Every structure is written in structure tokens, then in C-alpha cells.
Amino acid sequence: MTQIIRDRKIKFALIGCGRISARHFEAVFGDETGGVRPNPDAEFVDICDIDPGALETACKKYNLRGHRDYREMLAVTDADVVAVCTPNGLHYEMGMAAVENKKHVLMEKPFCADLMDADNLIAAARDRRLHTFAVLQVRYNNTIQILKKLIAENKLGKIYSAAVCVRWLRPQKYFTGWRGTRRLDCGTALNQGIHYVDILQWLLGPVRRVVAQSATIAHSIELEDQISSLIEFKSGVQATFEFSVNTFPRNKECSLYISAEKGSVEISGDAMNRIEYWEIEGCERPDLDVREGNTYAGGLYKGSCPNHPFIYNDVIRVLKTGDVNYINGDQARKSLELVLTMYKSSAEKKFIEFI
Ligand SMILES: NC(=O)c1ccc[n+]([C@@H]2O[C@H](COP(=O)([O-])OP(=O)(O)OC[C@H]3O[C@@H](n4cnc5c(N)ncnc54)[C@H](O)[C@@H]3O)[C@@H](O)[C@H]2O)c1
């Protein structure tokens, strides 16, 4: 069993002080508006970035020890957990290096970019009694929590079909540096779509088979910018997944529609963050606070909801109590497998069966 840390704060280190690191720092230090409160049970001890500007900015803002080389940081840090916030194609090597240095890992999405890498990382952590925490924070949208409960309590009756539409825009100028490259971005559905593939499989899985077709239509990038998929679940539910970053002039919607025996429900908004439609026998429509998706790069694009504090609370609870209920590598592997199988189906132009 993993050692329980009762008498002190949980210590975090972080690799990659770019856009998403702000959400990680906020989860520990709180934000300037007071919307996110500082977490009394967590502290950052070391951070790393190869970009001296990004590193210096974060070190100064939060008064932290900085490192330019993640292996050097791992060799000296006394952190309990290392958050991996670098480009997608680097997640595996950094997660593995952290585990080899006896650190729990908090992996930004996608958990890894390859299924065998994910399996190796999960196994390496398990062998050392370490945790693999996965940042799939969209599960904490209040809309999604409500749907999860409705399904668990069988309030929808038999589910017939579901449809996810991610009609987002990432303008060409979003795709600079690592973004849009095969080696480091690894897939647009893998990068932007994975949260919503995860929701689909979390609510309705396990999957029986998948067929998909992807294309690069409106961008000059090495990856797909849209993909359409039909997913059949073992329960018999049929679902469609329509994903695009070609929705001009801006994000149109990110929605999930479920049709079932006792009625229908649709959650939508920019990031599955609003109830759009609710007609369910015997269930009143809930009144929800709407949390908006994050805006990045000075308003260039809007992403998923800023629920990182929930993930940090999970990490802290698990390490302080020994609880095993959290979003781990095994769970993240499922959505990773689903996206990678969509790619395989698109390349091979056929249905792919899940075991
Ligand atoms: N959970 C979410 O909703 C969410 C949202 C946005 C991004 N992300 C994920 O977060 C990760 C980072 O995305 P971002 O938007 O912050 O990218 P970014 O480019 O803004 O930041 C990445 C940082 O990693 C640094 N870096 C690159 N190579 C490095 C190395 N070898 N050692 C140390 N640092 C290195 C870069 O210098 C940069 O500062 C990606 O995996 C992305 O998919 C998650």
C-alpha cells in the first residue's frame, strides 16, 4: 500500500510552465479573483521549463525553485507528485522518468499518446506502489455529474442513442510550435476531443466497436482537423461523435444528447456546461450555476471548463487517506484507446472491434 501522508502538505513539482500550468498553480495558490481559494493541504516545491522566460515568470510569481532540465529536477526534488504539463508527445518520457524517481504522477491530457506507453507507465507506477492521476477534469462539470447520477440511478431507463458534437474553432494561428505536429501534438481529436470522448465512454461504456473517418480540410497541419465516428457500446447504445476545429468564425457548441426510454436530455454550451434540453419523466430540470470554459492566448480560443481544483482535491485526498476512488491511468487509458481506435478505423476504413 502507498504510504499515507497525514502530518504535512502534499508537495507538488511541475514540468511545463505554459498555458495550462496556470490552472495547476491556481488549484494550489488560488486565483486573483478569489473564485478559487488557496488549498491549505498542498504546496509547489519545484518547477521546470526549457523556456527561460516561462520559467522565470512562474518562479517570480509564485516564489518557486526553477529548473531548466526535468531530469535534474527529478533527481533533487522532494515532491510527492509531479504534474506533467508539457506537449502531448513528451508526456510518456516525463511521466516515466518521474515514476522511476519514485514520484506519483499527475498527467495532463492526453495521459499518453500511445496505448503501449500508457500501459508501461501504469505498470511501472503500480510496481512501485505509486499513483497515476489523470487530468480529465471535464468529468467534474456539474452537468456531467448530474448525467452520471441519472444513469447510475436508472432515471433515464433504457438508453437508446447518444450524440456528441464538438464544433469548435482553432484558427490556423493557434497551430504554432508543437501544435499541429505529429510528433508532439499527436492528434487533434486526441488533444482537444479527448475530454468529450472520455465523457461518452465514462457515461455509456464499455465499447463494442467503432468506425471513423478523419480528414484535414481547413488547416495546414500534419493532423486531422475533423473526425466523425460511430460508436457501438456493449449495452447496445449507438453513439455518434462529431468533432471539428473548423467551425468558423468561433466555437459553436460542445454538446451531448442522450435519447432514452424515459425521455431526452441535451447538455451543450461551449464545453458541455449548460443544460440545453431536459424532458425526463419524473425528473425536474435542475437549476445550475454555469461555469464557463477557459479562454486562452488572449482570447484566441476557448477550451474546456477550469475544474483543476477538483483534480488536486482528489490527489490530496488519495495521498492523505488512502482512498482509491479517483481518475487514474486505467480510466484515462479507456478514452485514449477509443480515440486511437478511431484513428485506426479511419486509416483502415473499417469497423474495429474492442476485446
Ligand atoms: N486539461 C485541459 O483542459 C488542458 C487544456 C490545455 C492544455 N492541456 C494540456 O496541457 C499540456 C500543455 O499544453 P499548454 O497549452 O500549456 O502548452 P504550452 O505550449 O503553453 O506549454 C507547454 C510548456 O512546456 C514547456 N516544455 C516543452 N518541452 C519541455 C521540456 N523538454 N522540458 C520542460 N518543459 C518543456 C514549453 O516550453 C512550454 O512552456 C498539453 O498536454 C495539453 O494537451 C490540457
Nearest CA to ligand 1 atom 5: 20
Helix and strand counts by DSSP (H, E) for the chain: 10, 16
Q: Report phi then psi at 327, rounded to 5.
A: -85, 105
Terminal Cα distance for the chain, rounded: 30
Query: Which residues of the chain form beta strands (DSSP E)?
Result: 10-15, 42-48, 65-67, 81-84, 104-107, 132-134, 159-167, 207-215, 226-233, 238-244, 253-260, 263-268, 274-280, 295-296, 301-302, 352-353
User: 294: CA distance to ligand 1 center in Å?
Assistant: 15
The atom of ligand 1 lying closest to the CA of 20 is: 16
Q: How far is the CA of 19 from the centre of ligand 1 (A)?
A: 7
Question: At residue 37, does pLDDT exceed 70?
Answer: yes
Residue 135 alpha carbon, nearest atom of ligand 1: 1
Looking at every residue in the chain, the average pLDDT score rounds to 96
Most informative mutation of 15, 49, 133 for ligand 1 (most atoms within 8 A of CB):
49
Atom 30 (ligand 1) nearest CA: 50
Q: By the 8 A CB rule, do 124 and 99 touch?
A: yes
Residue for cell digits 503500480?
126
Quote the pLDDT of residue 154. Answer: 97
* Position in ligand 1 atom list of the atom nearest CA 137: 1
Amino acid, single-letter form, for residue 68:
R
> What is the pLDDT at residue 302?
80
- CA separation for the pair 12, 319 (Å, rounded): 12
Mean pLDDT of 37-47: 97
Residue 292: per-residue pLDDT: 80
Ligand 1 center to 49 CA (angstroms): 10
Q: What's the CA-to-centroid distance between 95 and ligand 1, angstroms?
A: 13
- Whether the per-residue pLDDT at 166 is higher than 80: the answer is yes
pLDDT at 295 (0 to 100): 84
- Res 67 pLDDT > 80: yes
The pLDDT > 70 percentage for the chain reads: 100
pLDDT band at 78 (very low <50, low <70, confident <90, very high): very high
User: What pLDDT, in 10s, does the model give residues 244-271?
Assistant: 999 999 999 999 999 999 999 999 999 9
Q: Whose CA is nearest to atom 34 of ligand 1?
A: 49
The model's confidence at residue 39, banded by pLDDT at 50, 70 and 90, is very high
pLDDT at 32: 85
| Nearest residue (CA) to ligand 1, atom 27 | 86
Q: What's the confidence (pLDDT) of residue 300?
A: 83
- Tens of pLDDT, residue by residue over 293-350, are 778 778 888 878 889 999 999 999 999 999 999 999 999 999 999 999 999 999 999 9
Give, for ligand 1, the residue of 15, 19, 117, 185 to mutate: max count of ligand atoms closer than 8 Å to Cβ: 19
Task: Read off the pLDDT of residues 79-129 as tens digits, 9 standing for 90 and up.
Answer: 999 999 999 999 999 999 999 999 999 999 999 999 999 999 999 999 999
Atom of ligand 1 nearest to the CA of 17: 39
Give the model confidence (pLDDT) of 190-230 as tens digits. 999 999 999 999 999 999 999 999 999 999 999 999 999 99
Please say if the pLDDT value at position 1 is more than 80.
no
Ligand 1: residues with CB < 6 A are 15-20, 48-51, 54, 70, 85-88, 90, 108-109, 135, 137, 191, 303-304
**What's the gap in Å between 91 CA and the centre of ligand 1?**
9
Q: What's the 85 CA to ligand 1 centre distance in angstroms?
A: 5
Domains in the chain, start-ordered, CATH in brackets? 10-134 (3.40.50.720), 139-305+335-353 (3.30.360.10)
Find all residues with CB under 8 Å of 78, minimum gap 6, and list them: 11, 45
Residue 288, pLDDT score: 87
The alpha carbon of 39 and the centre of ligand 1 are apart by a number of angstroms equal to: 23
* CA-nearest residue, atom 18 of ligand 1: 18
Distance 87 CA to ligand 1 centre (A): 5
